[in-house]
Amino acid sequence: MSSQIFTEKIKTTDSHSLIVRYYAGVKEASLRLLGQSATSGFAPDFDYPQLTDTWEEFFDVARAGWDPLGSHAGRRITLLDLMKNPGTRTTKTTASLLMVARAVHHIDLTGDSVMIFTPSSGNKANALRDAVARALELELATPDKLRIVTLTPSSTLYKFRRSILTDDAELRSRNPILVYDGPEAGDVKQIGTDFAQASAGRDERVWYSLDIGNYKVADACRAFYEREFADPEPGKRRLHAHAVSSAYGLLGYQHGLNTMADLGIPYHQPGFLLVQHLATSDMVRHHLQAKTGELPRLNWKLNDTDGIFEQYESAHFPQATWETQENLEPTFYTHNPPTAPEMTSLIARHGGSGIVVSLLECVRRYGEVRRLVNAGAQSLPVDPRQLGEWSLVMGMTGVLNGLERGLADGFDEVVLHGSGMYLADAKGSPDRSQVTTVRNAADVAAAVY
């Protein structure tokens, strides 16, 4: 009976696209967010177009893989590969496609023009640009009705990829890449908020697209995919690991589990392992403070021989690092994420932990990580200096360290959500002549209008 309910309420087709396959599930997950939006300005309804051949082609790149990678410390490791879109190689693809679909559907119903605006560390911005480019190329929308404006730290420009939005002069003007040169990368969010508030009331609808609901719906598909293809063996407990900034992906995955529970579909509740880096380790610290009653304090000692900082008091933090506030991967730039209490609560109820990794640890384990990852469909380069995105390596290093340090006790297997891995590609990235530098919301408005 549960399989029948899954087919009726979640699964739609046999497509390889997560969105097309679980289009009914996307709508069910969306229904459970009504009234929960934190967006104070304009946002399209959680309403989607009818599937056609063209829309299926648009959604086609939202794919996933379930890749067994062998074992470590007596536990099986599996990669949930969410990096299948060659235009992004990150998990932000699925949410971006659904957001653009909602925007286009709103345009078709109302005739409004819509500008999607997002501050980002880079990956989310690139994925939204990729989705808008796909919509324009497939003629699902016209350039005068749909456009995308992004604001990112200038240091992460390398995360973007060239497309019709950069190479066509008119589209480049309508869909600008804005970069911020200030000292604190996270300031792009405040600048974005200021711009969005100042833009309210214009004829063009400005969608300030940071609401977690936009991502929860998309990431619910991870749970649907696991339920259909990879339910754990009876009596076996899984730990789901993810390199995170605000843990949108794990919270969305849990939203998918909750959606199935509401429909009476059985599911297996896993625990969670958060993996972060030293520059933004706020979610791990929040979890540990809730667990112990106090913030973790680290007694770093500098080894004068090799210039490495070491500590062995906490299993949750690097044992060795070149820099105690190291920014390993600028994708993860959020301080004090508002999602921390919800994630801490999930770990308290279902088990799990958090771990922080350093670049030195990632480099030391790189050969081992590469061997494991290359057992699946992905392939890490021989030279780690070629990496333009460290999320996958961070996540795998955190899993291996966590297994060895007893942070996965009580679990039989680990599933790593593979959220990002691509190579640095200077030829494929926009150059400085194709972007605009801004300092504040007024500069953003001048560039956009």
Query: What does each C-alpha distance from 1 to 5, 7, 263, 359, 384 come to in angstroms?
Result: 6, 10, 12, 49, 48
pLDDT of 37 reads: 64
Q: Find residue 238's DSSP bridge partners.
A: 413
To the nearest 10°, the Cα dihedral for 389, 391, 396, 399? Answer: 160
Contact 31, 85 (CB under 8 A): no
Query: What does each C-alpha distance from 222 to 54, 142, 217, 264 come to in angstroms?
Result: 24, 31, 10, 18
pLDDT of 417 reads: 98
pTM: 0.96
Strands (DSSP E) contained in 213-340 are: 238-243, 271-277, 301-303, 308-310, 320-321
d(CA 268, CA 329): 32
> 37: number of CA atoms within 13 Å, CB side?
18
pLDDT of 419 reads: 97
Residue 268 sits in a domain whose CATH number is 3.40.50.1100
Pick the closest to residue 84 from 418, 430, 428, 427 (CA basis).
Answer: 418
d(CA 96, CA 131): 6
Q: Give the total number of structural domains in the chain.
A: 1
Flag whether 442 is in a domain.
Answer: no
d(CA 100, CA 148): 10
| Domain enclosing residue 354, as ranges | 65-88+213-418
Flag whether 126 is in a domain.
Answer: no
In the chain, which residues have pLDDT < 50? none
Contacts of 86 (CB under 8 A, 6+ apart): 61
Flag whether 172 is in a domain.
Answer: no
Flag whether 241 is in a domain.
Answer: yes
pLDDT of 200 reads: 84
Looking at residue 323, what DSSP letter applies? Answer: -
Flag whether 55 is in a domain.
Answer: no
- In the three-class reduction of DSSP (H, G, I as helix; E, B as strand; rest coil), residue 85 is classed as coil
Provide the pairing of β-strand 413-418 with 177-180.
unpaired
pLDDT of 426 reads: 85
Flag whether 303 is in a domain.
Answer: yes
Flag whether 380 is in a domain.
Answer: yes
Flag whether 449 is in a domain.
Answer: no
